[in-house]
Amino acid sequence: MPDTDATAISADLRAEIVETAVTSRASVRAFLPTAVPKETIARILEAASYAPSGSNMQPWKVRVVTGAVKDRLVEAVSAEHDAGRMQERDFKYYPTPFPEPYLTRRRATGWGLYGALKIEKGDKEAMHRQHGRNFLFFDAPVGLIFTIDNSLEMGSWLDYGTFLQNIMVMARGLGLATCPQAAWCSFHSTVKEVLEIPDDEIVVCGMALGHADTSEIVNDYRPVREPVDGFTQFLGFDG
């Protein structure tokens, strides 16, 4: 059960703990091989299941993979990626054409990441290799594959985001790291084949979970955020 006793710890400490969990979460792209116990993953998912969803539909379905099953998935999808056999996505993640200001932000994030890795612009082979690390779950010991029933509507996809964020923040609270990964959607058929996922489910994304390898420079990169005033209008506060 979630702790609903607001007096158990001071309000300031509570705010600080939650704020730190949220703001210190970052996408980690290099993990240590240290195993994560099944009980810990179950605890994370149980906490995440308190996510709100329209009519409490709870549209999430999760496959947690490790060991031989993860190896099979990694091998099958990496082979497809290396052969350049991307599969048309079940849903469109990004708009075409890519409008501003999102294009600028996307480029800044991409180049920031490749810059941290000293990958030069135009070095397609190095970029392909780095992208391919997605399909190793960045060496994390645990991978998660998220799916949703294809009969559900956009509202349930909105719900899904709250669930994913709960997982990432709860993992952070336990000293673990994550990387959400839409990259797996480009190989959804292979993912579904290996994990025997029924045809009426759509692969929403994957996620790497484990202990961050803090010695890897890729994990130092922090994309910047817009200031609150850049995306918010405060209305009616001045009387």
Residues found near ligand FMN in the complex (CB under 6 A): 26-27, 29, 109, 134, 179-183, 205, 223
**Which residue has tokens 């910047």?**
224
Q: What is the DSSP string of 93-140?
A: -S-SS--TTHHHHHHHHHHHHHHHTTPPTT-HHHHHHHHHGGGGGGG-
Where would I find the H helices in 7-54?
11-23, 38-48
CB of 5 to ligand FMN, least distance (A): 31
Q: What is the DSSP string of 172-217?
A: HHTT-EEEEEGGGGGGHHHHHHHHT--TTEEEEEEEEEE-B-TTSG
CB of 2 to ligand FMN, least distance (A): 24
CA distance linking residue 36 with residue 30, whole number of Å: 15
Q: Which is nearer to ligand FMN, 96 or 233 (CB)?
A: 96
CB of 21 to ligand FMN, least distance (A): 13
CB of 19 to ligand FMN, least distance (A): 15
Q: Which is nearer to ligand FMN, 10 or 214 (CB)?
A: 214
Residues 105/224/214/124 CA torsion (nearest 10 deg): 20
Q: Which is nearer to ligand FMN, 29 or 188 (CB)?
A: 29
Q: Which is nearer to ligand FMN, 52 or 223 (CB)?
A: 223
CB of 236 to ligand FMN, least distance (A): 31
CB of 97 to ligand FMN, least distance (A): 20
Q: Which is nearer to ligand FMN, 32 or 112 (CB)?
A: 112
Q: Which is nearer to ligand FMN, 68 or 224 (CB)?
A: 224
DSSP H or E run through 81: helix 67-82
Radius of gyration of the chain (CA): 19
